[in-house]
Amino acid sequence: MIPRYSDPRMAALFSDEARLGIWLEVELLAAEAWAAIGVLPASEVAKLRERAPLPTPELVEKVREREEVTDHDVAAFVDVVQAAIGGPEARFLHYGLTSSDVVDTALSATLTKAADLLIEASGALVAALARRAFEHIDTPMAGRTHGMQAEPTTFGAKCALWCLQADRDRERLRLARGRVAVGKLSGAVGTYSNIDPRVEERVCVELGLLPVPATQVIARDRHAELLWACAAAGTTVETIATEVRHLARSEVGELEEPFRPGQKGSSAMPHKRNPVLSERLSGLARVLRGYLGAGLEDVALWHERDISHSSVERIVLPDACGLTYYMLTKAAGLVDGLVVHAERMMENLTEGSLGLVFSQPVLLALVAAGMDRDAAYRIVQRDARKAHEERRSFRSVLAADPEVHLSQTELDDAFGLERSLGNIHRFTDALKEIPI
């Protein structure tokens, strides 16, 4: 991932040094497991860890140079590490293993750590949304369908629904973490022909992974599931960002992104406060969904393995995890700092809508008074259009219509926010079941 959209904590997990470091740990744990079950001499195996090189930039460079000869990254790594360890003990490195034993188990350990960061960031977004939901559950605004004002809702209700969705994303990330927290050290086609299953079990336990049956590689539906969880979380962020963008439009003016001192919204027009973060998040969600497609393509491999997935994963797995983490953390900051213009929300709901958002309660009042539903619908539809075209209060048009036989009290009830929003706290009640 380019530095602009990277976080150091996530990026560090996928650095070359970290990759070689976890490869080395798998190799050392495997040798130690062989010694623990009495196959390799424990005294000699102990020297492997004592003399193993550190995963430094210098080691990365040596492996890169060696790979120019071997044209095989794991073989180059083993050659370099064996040379650094030296002595006859070095021969026990990579004993009974195939490259995928090391690479796949190491990748699982890395993805598990990455998933932990994603779950943490997802939890922060859930908490931010919950806080704003409770803060604004009684802040009325126009609900909109098809981009048009529909009926009243509250900003807190919006936040509550986003919160519930973000919590589902968090659960998807937890499940995906479980899918990738697996390892395999079972040899060339997964049959343990040259390795004892006890070695696999010991290594996986040390790494916090579950040993699973596999071919030469761990099944890639697991990795695709993580990419799906990332894409879903990114799409939730996009959902929030898209709504912020709509409600921040000059003609609406109900929300504003946080705007720092010194920030400039436009290089040419000083008055502008563009929703640039929301636009950025909307765009990055598209990239995340593209990674999912690539991950699904990786599931079907030839026979017991090929490496058509390898080149894809070197790009999409680090980038997807990094981008999801960036988006979740930025989204939490966006929600926390969001400026809510409650007065403008009320203005748009009442004066701005001319009261047309109350057309359904009027319809139901007429039906309750005994009018045929279709006849009532046509009257309300006609009066609503008249109010719109003449820019008059919908209520005043209804009051002047001799076919509308509703009392002042009945009209008060139909146009009352209390009636429309009387059950709105069901949204925040649902949040009380969520661990924040």
pLDDT digits (tens, 9 = 90+) for 95-134: 999 999 999 999 999 999 999 999 999 999 999 999 999 9
Sign (positive/negative) of CA torsion 320, 325, 328, 333?
negative
The stretch 344-354 carries a mean pLDDT of 95
CB atoms inside a 10 Å sphere around CB 377: 16
Q: What pTM value is reported for the model?
A: 0.94
From the list 297, 282, 293, 287, the residue with the least C-alpha distance to 320 is 287
CA-CA distance, 428 to 9, in Å (whole number)? 33
pLDDT over 70, % of the chain = 100
How high is the mean pLDDT of the chain? 96
DSSP secondary structure, 135-204, as one string? HTTT-EEEEEETTEEEEEEEHHHHHHHHHHHHHHHHHHHHHHHHHHSEE----TTSS-SSS-HHHHHHHH
Query: For helices 42-51 and 16-36, what crossing angle results, to 10°?
Result: 170
Measure the CA–CA gap between 121 and 328, rounded to whole angstroms.
Answer: 6
CA–CA dist 351, 277 (Å, integer): 30
Radius of gyration of the chain (CA): 30
The whole-angstrom separation of Cα 247 and Cα 259 is: 16
Parallel, antiparallel or unpaired: strands 182-183 and 140-145: unpaired
Rounded to an integer, what distance in angstroms lies between the CA atom of residue 427 and that of residue 298? 40
Residues 363-391: what's their mean pLDDT?
Answer: 96
DSSP string, 28-82: HHHHHHHHHTTSS-HHHHHHHHHHPPP--HHHHHHHHHHHHHHS-HHHHHHHHHH
Give me the CATH code for the 1-95 domain, please. Answer: 1.10.275.10
Alpha-carbon distance values, 98 to 21, 64, 67, 102, 104 (Å) = 18, 20, 17, 7, 10
Of 301, 303, 324, residue with least CA distance to 234: 324
How far, CA to CA in Å, does 373 sit from each of 38, 62, 176, 376, 409? 85, 81, 50, 5, 21
pLDDT computed for residue 39 by the predictor: 97
So what's the pLDDT on residue 266?
77
Q: What is the per-residue pLDDT for 38? A: 97
> What pLDDT does residue 418 have?
93
For residues 182 and 211, is the Cβ–Cβ distance under 8 A? yes
Packing angle between helix 99-135 and helix 197-207, nearest 10 degrees? 30
Confidence of residue 189 (pLDDT cuts 50, 70, 90): very high
Predicted confidence (pLDDT) per residue in 35-74, tens digit:
999 999 999 999 999 999 999 999 999 999 999 999 999 9
Q: pLDDT at position 423, please?
A: 96
268/278 Cα distance (integer angstroms):
21
Q: Where in the chain is the domain with CATH 1.20.200.10?
A: 98-346
H or E stretch at 325: helix 308-337
The superfamily (CATH) of domain 98-346 is Fumarase/aspartase (Central domain) (1.20.200.10)
CATH 1.10.40.30 matches 349-431: yes
pLDDT of residue 259: 82
pLDDT tens column, 252-298: 999 999 888 888 777 778 887 889 999 999 999 999 999 999 999 99
Residues of the chain with CATH 1.10.40.30: 349-431
- Record the tokens describing residue 231, joined without a space: 């894409």
Query: What is the rounded CA–CA span in Å between residue 223 and residue 225?
Result: 5
Q: How many percent of the chain have pLDDT more than 90?
A: 94
Residues catalogued as catalytic: 146, 266
Evaluate whether 255 touches 244 at the Cβ level (below 8 Å). Answer: yes
Does 212 score more than 90 pLDDT? yes
The answer, yes or no, to whether residue 184 has pLDDT greater than 90, is yes
**In this structure, what are the phi and psi dihedrals at residue 317, rounded to the nearest 5 degrees?**
-70, -50
- Tokens 């010194």 belong to residue: 262
Q: What is the pLDDT of residue 436?
A: 83
Mean pLDDT of 215-235: 97
Which pLDDT score is estimated for 271? 83
